[in-house]
Every structure is written in C-alpha cells, then in structure tokens.
C-alpha cells in the first residue's frame, strides 16, 4: 500500500526536501483554509465527505533541513496515516468517491499549494501520487473530476484533464469549470 514518498522540490531558493503522504484532514486543513477559503471562517474549509472512510487526503510536507539522501522515488510503505507529518504543509489535495454522470468516480477537492512553491511541481506530484493511493482504495474506479478554478484550468489541462462544462460560479470561491480525467495506471506511462 502506498502511503508516502520523499522527493526534492526545485524552488527559486534552491532544492527543498519534502515528503508527500496520505494524512487526515487535520494535517491539511490549515493550508486548505489559508489558500482556498480565507478570509471565510475556518469551518468553511471542512467539506462534506472529509471524514468518509474512503476519502483520501494527500499532503506535501517540507522535511527538516538536515535530511540527507532523499531519493525522488523513495517510498515509505509503513507510514501511519495518523502520525503527524514532519515540517510545514505546503500542498494538499482531497479525493472523495462521488459519482460523475451517474458512474463511480473520484472527485478532487481542496487542492492547493503554498504560494511561494507554485510552479515547483507540488501539484503535479500530488496528482501522480494519487494514482497509486486511489487504486489501493477502489481499483475499479478510474474516472476523476473536479470543480477547477478558472485560473487553475491550464495547470490541469497540461496534466491531461479536459474541461467538461461551461464556466460557472461557486459563490464562496469564484468562477470554475468542471474538469475530468481518467485515472491512469503506472503502466500507462
């Protein structure tokens, strides 16, 4: 079972070591609120389904500066979901089982990257990591969908997602598109 992966981020300030891991909502709620829901109350960053047994929260956490020998594909299969992650949470994504057009699907919700690390590979790494995580939970579910903020649509398109709706507005979050993708397996690359 895939639980965590250590990797190196290329940032403008130089390489930063990070760990991407399955966590609980407590591990990512502060970042989700700060990036996606501020200045609304913190409870608006809690979504229906966050505590469902099939929901998976993925977080990227900076490791201590003295961590050495981190390999981009170092899997840590024995990490415990409930253990606190080391360092600052700099990326988050939540995947919930939620039908798309009456068929089983994973809905991506609450994806965010800390502003100073956008464009450094945090988001694409989380989406890549999610493939193995989600396949462990529900191997028969291959459809992904999300409500993407309009400025984020080009990011998703670069990763193979397609726009599946006209633009619409979520009152607390602004203009969005519905976007879809197929959950590719590691062997499809």
Render pLDDT for 111-151 as a digit per residue (tens, 0 to 9). Answer: 999 999 999 999 999 999 999 899 999 999 999 999 999 99
Question: The domain containing residue 46 runs over which residues?
Answer: 4-188
Number of domains, the chain: 1
The per-residue pLDDT for range 37-48, each reduced to its tens digit, is 999 999 999 999
Short-list 122, 186, 182, 188, CA closest to 152: 122
CATH number at residue 42: 3.40.630.30
Does a cis peptide bond (omega within 30 degrees of 0) precede residue 75? no
Q: Using an 8 Å Cβ cutoff, are 79 and 4 in contact? A: yes
**Residue 168 to residue 75: CA distance in whole angstroms:** 39
Summarised one tens digit per residue, pLDDT across range 65-112 is: 534 433 333 333 333 333 333 589 999 999 999 999 999 999 999 999
pTM to 2 decimals? Answer: 0.85
């Amino acid at each position: 079972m895939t639980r965590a992966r250590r990797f190196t981020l290329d940032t403008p300030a130089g390489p930063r070591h990070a760990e991407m891991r399955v966590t609980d909502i407590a591990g990512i709620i502060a970042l989700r609120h700060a990036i996606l829901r501020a200045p609304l109350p913190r409870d608006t960053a809690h979504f229906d389904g966050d505590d469902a047994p099939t929901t998976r929260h993925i977080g990227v956490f900076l490791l201590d500066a003295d961590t050495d020998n981190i390999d981009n594909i170092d899997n840590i299969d024995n990490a415990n979901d409930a253990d606190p992650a080391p360092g600052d949470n700099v990326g988050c994504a939540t995947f919930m089982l939620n039908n798309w057009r009456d068929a089983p699907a994973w809905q991506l919700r609450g994806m965010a990257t800390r502003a100073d690390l956008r464009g450094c590979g945090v988001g694409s790494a989380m989406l890549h990591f999610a493939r193995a995580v989600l396949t462990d939970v529900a191997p028969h579910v291959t459809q992904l969908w999300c409500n993407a903020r309009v400025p984020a649509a080009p990011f998703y398109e670069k990763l193979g997602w397609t726009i599946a709706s006209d633009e619409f507005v979520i009152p607390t979050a602004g203009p969005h598109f519905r976007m879809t993708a197929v959950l590719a397996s590691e062997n499809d690359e």
